């Protein structure tokens, strides 16, 4: 009888451990999804009068491969945005977690972006799908990869 009790206690422990891990991953997925929504709005919004502030916010929320790529391309993009008096405002319409672990989450986002510049003074709406990989780095969720599939 004791062996049965020990085995039952062990199985209960395994089940609880599995449940706690699952809840932890679910919580991580939701936190990363919320961070991705906020970051997508930063990433898809720009004011040519505040380009340096916008770029600083983008870099602050980035890590790894995406941060490196954005850092390299931002100087050329900066002048183009200023010269063309570009403005954009992004709004996330929908988002969902595609996959999740405790420290890495892939989030799918549907974004509407209102864009105007000297060539197109009347704002037009660009509809984008974004696949964003979020990684938990230094106590925060940050974008390590951003794809427009």
For 81-138, how does the pLDDT look when each residue is reduced to its tens digit (9 = 90+)? Answer: 999 999 999 999 999 999 999 999 999 999 999 999 998 889 999 999 999 999 999 9
Quote the pLDDT of residue 63.
Answer: 97
pLDDT the model gives residue 96? 98
Predicted local distance difference test score (pLDDT) of residue 22: 75
Please determine, for residue 20, whether its predicted confidence score (pLDDT) is greater than 80: no
The answer to whether the beta carbons of residues 144 and 133 sit under 8 Å apart is: yes
pLDDT of 78 over the 60 cut:
yes
Give me the pLDDT at residue 126, please: 94
Inter-residue contact 64 to 94 (CB < 8 Å): no
CB 54 within 8 A of CB 41: no
Global pTM value: 0.84
pLDDT for position 66? 95
CA distance readout (Å), 108 to 13, 40, 65: 35, 10, 18
pLDDT on residue 4 = 61
pLDDT at 16 over 70: no
The rounded distance, in Å, linking the Cα atoms of 50 and 81 is 10
DSSP string for the chain: -HHHHHHHHHHHHHHHHHHHHHHHHHHHHHHHHHHHHHHHHHHT-EEGGGHHHHHHHHHHTB-HHHHHHHHHHHHHHHHHHHHTT-EEEEEEEEEEEEEE-SSEEEEEEEEEEEEE-SS--S-EEEEEEEEEEEEEETTEEEEEEEE--
Average pLDDT over residues 132-145: 97
* Confidence check: pLDDT of 9 > 70: no
Average the pLDDT over each of 14-18, 24-28, 30-34, 94-98 and give the range with the smallest value: 14-18
* Overall average pLDDT of the 33-50 stretch: 96
């Amino acid at each position: 009888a004791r062996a049965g009790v020990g085995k039952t206690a062990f199985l209960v422990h395994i089940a609880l451990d599995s449940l706690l891990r699952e809840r932890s991953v679910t919580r991580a997925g939701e936190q990363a999804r919320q961070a991705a929504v906020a970051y997508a709005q930063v990433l898809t919004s720009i004011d040519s009068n505040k380009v340096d502030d916008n770029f600083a916010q983008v870099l602050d929320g980035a890590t790894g491969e995406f941060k490196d790529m954005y850092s390299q391309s931002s100087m050329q993009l900066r002048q183009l945005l200023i010269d063309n008096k570009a403005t954009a405002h992004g709004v996330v319409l929908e988002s969902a977690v595609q996959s999740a672990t405790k420290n890495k989450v892939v989030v799918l986002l549907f974004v509407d972006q209102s864009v105007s510049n000297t060539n197109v003074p009347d704002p037009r709406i660009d509809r984008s799908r974004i696949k964003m990989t979020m990684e938990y780095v230094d106590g925060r969720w940050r974008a390590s990869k951003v794809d427009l599939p």
